């Protein structure tokens, strides 16, 4: 059985082991599906290249649709990364998003949905990068799974130690603002990996579209853990 199937089986057989990543009331709160692809004509270069304007656009979508968070991004082919040279390569630029983004207010509490330990952490302080990042390691009945939390506040890294235990539903961080999170509108980049390939405090969250099948083998859908309801709107 491959690792994707093992993860699905664990979640199905141990639903009580899965906690929350953000506070969310399934009966009252709503999600707004944000489209960050070229199909979204509202995301002009002017908006993308101006973080306060981009933030205002996100906030207006959530406010106008009575949604607590924006959501989306797993294996989404995005054009917004053109604003930063961080995503450029010598041949094909990186544009395929590997995690799920949860867009909300700076200071929003972030939790670990699984028992585990701190694998690594660091401030990836580049324009367009994760900013403060925490990576946790989990043992799911013998299956090793890593979870990554990017675009955090700098205070989220204070007091962390590699190997420190964490527990389901424990608050581990808060969302950072645009001055500390890689110059993005406040949001969480949440990503799962089976293998860290020796990396510490960082792992690619965007890849070349031509390499999609390769990355999918190591990066399962975070929706398996988030277990959110369907978003109420799509761009």
How many other β-carbons are positioned within 10 Å of the β-carbon of residue 11?
Answer: 15
Q: Is the pLDDT of residue 82 over 60?
A: no
Contact 119, 92 (CB under 8 A): no
| Cα–Cα distance for residue pair 17/113, rounded to 1 Å | 8
Contact 194, 139 (CB under 8 A): no
Q: Is the pLDDT of residue 165 over 60?
A: yes
Q: How confident is the model at residue 94 (pLDDT cuts 50, 70, 90)?
A: low
17-26, 90-99, 131-140, 193-202: least confidently modelled range: 90-99
Q: Is the pLDDT of residue 231 over 70?
A: yes
| Cα–Cα distance for residue pair 234/185, rounded to 1 Å | 19
pLDDT score of 85: 47
For the entire predicted model, the pTM comes to 0.93
Which domains, from first to last, does the chain contain? 3-228 (2.70.70.10)
Contact 115, 168 (CB under 8 A): yes
Q: Which residue has the higher pLDDT, 85 or 24?
A: 24
Q: Is the pLDDT of residue 86 over 60?
A: no
Q: How confident is the model at residue 80 (pLDDT cuts 50, 70, 90)?
A: low
């Amino acid at each position: 059985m491959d690792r994707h199937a093992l993860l699905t089986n664990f979640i199905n057989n141990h639903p009580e082991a899965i906690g929350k990543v953000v506070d969310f009331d399934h009966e009252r709160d709503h999600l707004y599906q944000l489209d960050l692809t070229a199909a979204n004509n509202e995301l002009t270069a002017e908006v993308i290249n101006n973080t306060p304007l981009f933030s205002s656009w996100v906030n207006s979508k959530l406010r106008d649709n009575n949604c607590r968070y924006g959501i989306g991004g797993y294996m989404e082919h995005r054009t917004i990364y053109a604003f930063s040279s961080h995503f450029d390569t010598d041949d094909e630029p990186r544009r395929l998003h590997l995690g799920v983004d949860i867009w909300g207010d700076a200071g929003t509490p972030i939790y670990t949905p699984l028992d585990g330990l701190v694998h690594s952490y660091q401030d990836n302080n580049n324009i367009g990068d994760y900013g403060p990042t925490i990576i946790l390691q989990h043992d799911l009945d013998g299956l090793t799974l890593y979870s990554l939390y990017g675009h955090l506040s700098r205070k989220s890294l204070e007091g962390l130690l590699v190997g420190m235990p964490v527990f389901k539903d424990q608050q581990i961080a808060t969302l950072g603002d645009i001055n500390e999170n890689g110059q993005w509108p406040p949001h969480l980049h949440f990503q799962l990996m089976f293998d860290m390939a020796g990396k510490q405090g960082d792992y690619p969250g965007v890849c070349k579209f031509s390499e999609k099948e390769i990355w999918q083998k190591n990066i399962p859908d975070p929706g398996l853990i988030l277990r959110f309801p369907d978003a109420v709107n799509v761009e």
